[in-house]
Amino acid sequence: MEGPNKGGYWPSWSANRFSPEDIDTSFLTHVYFAFLSPNEPTFQFEIDGPTDKLLRRFTTSLNRRNPLVKTLLSIGGGKSDKIMFARMASSQGSRRSCIHYIIQVARKYYFDGLDFDWEYPQT
C-alpha cells in the first residue's frame, strides 16, 4: 500500500527567490504550479516568453529530480477574477472553450493534471 499523498503549491511569482529547481521533491507526491488564469472573452491563456520558460522549467526540473512526482497546473487562485470564472461557468459553450484551452496548456508543458482553484464562487 502506498503512503499518503503530500502536495504543495509553488508560487510562480517567487521564481527569482525560490526556483523550481529548489523544490525538494523527496517530501512531495504532487506539486502545483500556482497560478495561471484564462482571459475573457475566449478563455485562452496569454503566455508570454518568461512564463513559457518558467512553465517548461517547472515540469522539466521536477520530473528530472523525481520522476514519480506529479505536476499539476493550478488555474485561478485567490487573486483571480471571480466574475470571469462565473461567466466561464455560465454556459456549456464557455465551459467547453475554457476546458479546451486548459488541456492545450497542460499538454504543451507536460503537466500530469489540473487544479481548478476558483475561490469563493458566489453565483
Q: Kindly tell me the burial class for residue 121, based on how many C-beta atoms sit within 10 Å of its own C-beta (0-12, 13-18, 19 or more).
A: exposed
Q: Which amino acid is at 96?
A: R
How far apart, in Å, are the Cα atoms of 35 and each of 14, 26, 39? 12, 23, 13
The CA-based dihedral angle spanning residues 7, 54, 86, 107, taken in that order and rounded to the nearest 10 degrees: -80
Catalytic amino acids? Answer: 119
